[in-house]
Structure 1
């Protein structure tokens, strides 16, 4: 059984987005009291992105990921599984899109 870990791209993308929001929040330090609501929303977005990136990084370091076995397909990091007999159909989406064009 091979475990497919979370890719580096979403981890880095969320981290860059969080750091960008954080830097943007503090670009106008003198204007923070005037725009306190916008500042708080920016901090909230930056913290959400940063916390999620660290969560994904921690799961990657722990070796958690997506895999499948003879019983079914693991769909999240908690080990929740969709069993093979519950899946009705598996189709390759790119083929459907090309045939519709």
Structure 2
């Protein structure tokens, strides 16, 4: 594991998306926290347009519910607790967080 990721494991080692404090698995690619190649990634600035989005999900396997606040939509595919897929998008609301 790279030194820059050992100190701060709040990013997925596979897709480099941010992980929640209690997430055991990446909600975007399903990789277990602390695992992955930790390959270098493009850390460029992305300009996002549009209103903020609040997306609510529920895991079909374990029943976990969680909310994601984002500026560019959310592509979660895996449960951050059990790492299983598929998950269900309960709602998607545009506006202020």
- TM-score of the superposed pair, with normalisation by structure 1: 0.19
Greater helix content:
1
- TM-score of the superposed pair, with normalisation by structure 2: 0.19
Larger radius of gyration: 1
Greater strand content:
2
